[in-house]
Amino acid sequence: MANKITRENIGSPNAPFYTPPSGTLVKTTQSNGVISKIPSLFTSLKIRGITLPNRIALSPMCMYCAAGDGTLTDWHLVHLGQFALRGAGLIMVEATAVTPEGRLSPQDSGLWKDEQIAPLKRIVDFVHSQGVKIGIQLAHGGRKSSTIAPFINAKAYENNKITFPQLLPEEFGGWPNDVFGPSPVQWDAEHANPKELTIEQIHMIQEAFVAAAKRAEKAGFDIVELHYAHGYLAHEFFSPISNKRTDKYGGSFENRVRFGLETAKKVREIWSEDKPLFVRISATDLVEDDEEDSWEIKQSVELSKLFKDLGVDLIDVSSGGNTPKQKLLLKELYQVPFAEEIKKNVDINVAAVGKINDPKLANGIVENGQADLVFIGRGYLADGNWAIRAAKELGVIIQTPVQYHYVIKNMMKL
């Protein structure tokens, strides 16, 4: 029997029609009359009051194409909306700055003022119209702020004298004199000389995270993720490479993690009880120098336990980004062992990320208990049908919009 279209189940003003939830398992294919086992990648995941139809999430990826005031545009509606049509169980909006000075570049997404809510809500409404969940990653770039967007042609800046990565001068829209970190320690010579945050400024940034989370609530997001990885502000506090403070926010492990824990606690207190809170961390600085203290996986395990106690629901496990001394080997599944280590030692949901392109390997991550959720970034940019292809390779059919579904089934011979 066909689904009856009613006022309650038409999608939204952006999609005024009925469509079943995209990414939901429809059926397994058959071999010799025997129904295949349901792959772990296409089982549902319930966290608090949110149920994801599968374990595939679009990773938050900086697009560097927001309007000059941090506002998202129709480009983002199309960019993010396409994945809601193609089977992703969760879509994450890119790193979104909680203050203007916390942006990595002038083209970064922002959520520091109410005027930025409406464009985000438009995206949320469309994604929801497809029955898909959507989250937003809140961030502050710390000492890595005020840089040139990676794909911007350096020739646009002073006769090609600026090359990526480079500090963006004031005359080209940068704020090199308003870059802050835990300590006045440069990332490298091509980044700003950061000013040390005062206690008052630390508290102001924490409140900016809280205010941004409240705006995310108004926009209708299902999940908030705090970006504590990749050498951005919270990670800078965690690591002794970038944190040389001698007050209550520096020195011991307990002091260095204080900023991140306090901020997470404040956000959890105002974020809806039935909605999940994620935290992305760099599990290690990837530094092999025994003469310099750095952030390591064993500290990430202890930190994850503390996040669990505060009501954080998932640790999104990345690595590196806090020092040019890092030894980064970009090979397939290179960060999965870090996710597995946290999963093994902490009773908390864990996400794996980083060059996870093969659907069978992605399924193995969940099936083997290495992580509960798999974030796909580059794979989705290269192939918007990643989840549909993964379903085919793993022997199942997932729901896509009714306008597409019969064509996809026929063309993919499902």
Distance, CA of 309 to CA of 312 (rounded, Å): 7
Exposure of 160 in the CB half-sphere (CA atoms within 13 A) = 1
Distance, CA of 198 to CA of 241 (rounded, Å): 19
Catalytic annotation present for 404: no
Token pair 């630390």 in the structure block, residue: 202
**First and final C-alpha spacing in the chain:** 22
Token pair 């296409």 in the structure block, residue: 42
Contact 260, 289 (CB under 8 A): no
Among the listed residues 232, 249, 404, 406, the single catalytic one is 232
Q: What are phi and psi of 327, to 5 degrees?
A: -105, 90
Token pair 């004031």 in the structure block, residue: 170
Q: What tokens were used for 75?
A: 């480009």
Q: How far, CA to CA in Å, does 401 sit from each of 20, 53, 96, 196, 388? A: 7, 15, 29, 51, 12
Q: What are phi and psi of 34, to 5 degrees?
A: -100, 125
Q: Which residues are designated catalytic? A: 232
